[in-house]
Amino acid sequence: MTHTQPASILQHFSAIKDPRIDRRKRHKLGDIFFIALCAIISGADDWTSIALFGRAKEAWFTTVLGLENGIPSHDTFGNVFAMIDTEQFVKCFISWVEALSDSSHGEIIAIDGKSIRRSLDRANNKSAIHLVSAWATKSHLVLGQQKVDEKSNEISAIPKLLENLNIEGSVITIDAMGCQTKVASQIIERGADYMLSLKGNQSSLFEDVKTFFETPNTCPTIAHQSCDGGHGRIETRRVKASSNIEWLKRRHPHWEGLTSIIAVSATREIKSVERREVRYFISSLDASNPERLGAIVRAHWGIENNLHWVLDYAFNEDAQRTRTGNSAANFGIMRHVALNLLKADKVTKAGMKNKRLKAGWDDDYLLEIITKGRFND
């Protein structure tokens, strides 16, 4: 085993500028990144546990990296990641994903935000850290991340995230917060399509679409229905869509690419108690295939279980309290790197938590995870 093996992943992140002054560079930035990534893959969830993991594996890291000054302290890890430029880090991450995965053409990309609850700082009147992520629903990969500014919201973060992504040929799905004319225009201009959830924040458009689907004379006949159940639950989903919306485009002329409106109703029956919910969407896709439109809507909901839940359950993200400088956003990127690498392992039949444990126990497995060639192998 030589210290040249992790070169591939280090090369992708080598564009990150070292924020330290020369006299304080006792450890190489690439070594700090590599040790932290290995530790996070193996179950470390804070700077202290990263340093402890490094010291426990010091002989191994020395062999792999050719370390000259041992393992950095937990303060060094924390200080360096707090200073690293997050925008640079995000661009390197996106470039890495694009280099190691297939084209995004035909992909359904879900954009959604998540707060790190324990990062709330009431003493200093600071809200919880909020991160907006892009999730490839077919390949199950995190494509990018954008931290929401302290005094802002997802509306301003989503365009910044989309600007960095290669979305040509894909379908972008976003919940109601991102249902904005600026976002729709940006998606169309970048050669992609959109499926945007519609709620009260676009009150006039929402009421027009809702009235259309609730009126018998205008409600479309094009529909797709599916039914599934289990554990005493029966759920029936019905998708109705229409591209006969010239009247709507005249009333709302600023929605670039608007081609169809969609209503997805879900009726759930649990122990003879029935509940019905209807959600409305606007899209640049035509209405000719309501089954596909319904599948795209369902794919967006998968970001909760396949990304947010995994980060909370397997990576303990919600419990993170670090917020010094850029540390919270940069730790979030590191979790996404680790998650993508672990998901690339299609051989080990285990959940994410157990894969992390195996990486901590088995040096060969850890190095295999780090040096894996392509996500789609």
Whether 75 and 104 share a structural domain: no
Q: Specify the pLDDT at position 269.
A: 72
Lookup: tokens for 195:
């499926």
Strand pairing report for 193-198 and 171-174? parallel
Band of residue 86 on the pLDDT scale cut at 50, 70, 90: very high
Whether 76 and 99 share a structural domain: no
Is there a domain that residue 273 lies in? yes
Is there a domain that residue 161 lies in? yes
Is there a domain that residue 330 lies in? no
Is there a domain that residue 1 lies in? no
Instruction: List, for residues 346-361, the tens digit of each pLDDT value.
Output: 899 999 999 999 999 9
Is there a domain that residue 339 lies in? no
> Residue 29 belongs to what domain range?
7-84+344-370
Residue 293 CA to residue 49 CA, distance in Å, equals 45
Instruction: List, for residues 242-257, the tens digit of each pLDDT value.
Output: 999 999 999 999 999 9
Nearest Cα to 113, choosing from 175, 185, 181, 165? 175
CATH code at position 222:
3.90.350
Is there a domain that residue 326 lies in? no
Instruction: List, for residues 55-64, the tens digit of each pLDDT value.
Output: 999 999 999 9
- pLDDT at residue 120 greater than cutoff 50: yes
CA distances from 145 to 6, 20, 178, 238, 329 (A): 24, 24, 15, 33, 8
Of 241 and 236, more confident: 241
Whether 264 and 197 share a structural domain: yes
Q: Specify the pLDDT at position 276.
A: 81
By three-state DSSP, how is residue 8 classified? helix
Of 193 and 227, more confident: 193
Residue at which a domain ends, from 313, 336, 359? 313
Detail the DSSP E strand segments found in the chain.
108-116, 129-136, 141-147, 171-174, 193-198, 223-230, 233-242, 260-270, 273-283
**Residue 311 CB partners (closer than 8 Å, separation 6+):** 114, 317, 318, 335, 339
Instruction: List, for residues 325-349, the tens digit of each pLDDT value.
Output: 889 899 999 999 999 999 989 899 9
Residue at which a domain ends, from 297, 313, 329? 313
Whether 199 and 100 share a structural domain: yes
Whether 105 and 190 share a structural domain: yes
**Which DSSP string corresponds to 275-310?**
EEEEEEEEESS-SS-HHHHHHHHHHHHHHIIIIIHH
For residue 60, which amino acid is it?
Answer: W
Whether 361 and 294 share a structural domain: no
Is there a domain that residue 133 lies in? yes
Mean pLDDT of 120-126: 62
Mean pLDDT of 232-241: 81
For residue 109, which amino acid is it?
Answer: I
Lookup: tokens for 226:
């599916």
Whether 95 and 67 share a structural domain: no
0.85 surpassed by pTM: yes
Is there a domain that residue 76 lies in? yes
Whether 98 and 77 share a structural domain: no
Mean of the per-residue pLDDT values of the chain: 88
Band of residue 119 on the pLDDT scale cut at 50, 70, 90: low
Q: Specify the pLDDT at position 230.
A: 60
Q: What is the DSSP letter of 215?
A: -
CA distances from 169 to 301, 334, 369 (A): 21, 28, 30
Whether 152 and 133 share a structural domain: yes
CA distances from 190 to 111, 164, 186, 318, 349 (A): 16, 11, 6, 33, 38
Residue at which a domain ends, from 313, 330, 362? 313
Q: Specify the pLDDT at position 116.
A: 77
Using the structure block, give the residue that is written with the tokens 């002989």: 59
Per the structure, the count of domains in the chain is 2
Q: Specify the pLDDT at position 317.
A: 86
CB-CB contact of 200 with 138 (8 Å): no
Whether 164 and 239 share a structural domain: yes
- pLDDT at residue 259 greater than cutoff 60: yes
Residue 368 CA to residue 361 CA, distance in Å, equals 13
Q: Is 336 exposed, middle or buried (0-12, 13-18, 19+ CB in 10 A)?
A: buried
Band of residue 377 on the pLDDT scale cut at 50, 70, 90: very low
Whether 348 and 208 share a structural domain: no
Whether 266 and 357 share a structural domain: no
Q: Specify the pLDDT at position 218.
A: 78
